[in-house]
Structure 1
């Protein structure tokens, strides 16, 4: 309130009795203490965004190195993920998988489909098989070619043997899981009509997962391929040792 009042140390204004405020650009005299009620606290992310660098005077470089903490997310390993799609057009008669998160073993049934295309090919295969038994020759090759078509449409060797033993087409064909994994996505419901190539189920083996961390460009050199890292999951047990791979 009275800027004409100057003093070499903290004190009270002789006119109004208010605390004197330190003038910018003037050092605090030796033996006196400067107080401030506007302390600023920054998080590690704010320090990085502000490109602020600090150094403790008198400390050796080895004591200055601190671990870099990154924020990341756990994701599925894309190399262990497999999508199961419909090989033919038809109607899903029975769906053995009803929810995501369900663990499916390799060879377990996934769904059964009714398809006129499969019925026609099964009938062709049985006719060619019967004629090859009677006459052989070209009919045997035709039967083999038809069985190969059925294999490409997802039928197993066991299903072909059962078809030959049964002697008549099976109106509903069951498809089995090609791998062991957890259901990540389920894009079909029981009774739904599907087209050829329609995605039905996505399976992922979660025995190995990825941790994708957010890294600033200037810190890329600090995390070379093969570097040992420690992963701490929120609410999880002890930290997990790992290596950067990509």
Structure 2
């Protein structure tokens, strides 16, 4: 009856807040291009800076010469991390889900960590055995040149931080965090998301030949499965970091 009395209007009905909702296939895909583009711009800015710093022309030849330098590669990898984090933060805001929850930044059990490490060691060892049996290099040849260049510049420690910390963090947040989360809640489902995100992640390593790309794909599938089973991107970041650190030490050792 209060509606008939102007002095006592009915209480305003507040609309219920929109429930949290992850981006689906196309939203995840479009934002994925934006995230990758931001990473590329961050890395390219470092390369262009060093080309201009050395007084060389901003040409393909000048860029290729600078890209082969260990210090430049390390700094470009480091520069990509804040760019990726910034765009990921922007992309997760409209979903109503926290940054950590959306990207799977949650802990896991020691049992899962041990299972992940053992699985990764077995997988990489099998690839090394196949590589040796085929008379191939165990590590990509260009990695040895990059390590020697970084060591000559006194920047070996920067390269280790870039390859064993920065790269695993932003690559996993992108592939197993962002891409897997959205695609797994689309028509692809978890297994389709594991496969497609692994293919995209492999495509980000085109500096390798077909053999090492196959190895990268298999590692991506393992990481994707572990992300699915444990719900933890921290686990895949840890495994990725350990893999990159071991590969860096192995390459440094073989390169003398």
> So what's the TM-score if we normalise by structure 1?
0.25
Q: Compare the two structures and name the one with the higher strand fraction.
A: 1
> So what's the TM-score if we normalise by structure 2?
0.24
Higher Cα Rg, which structure: 1
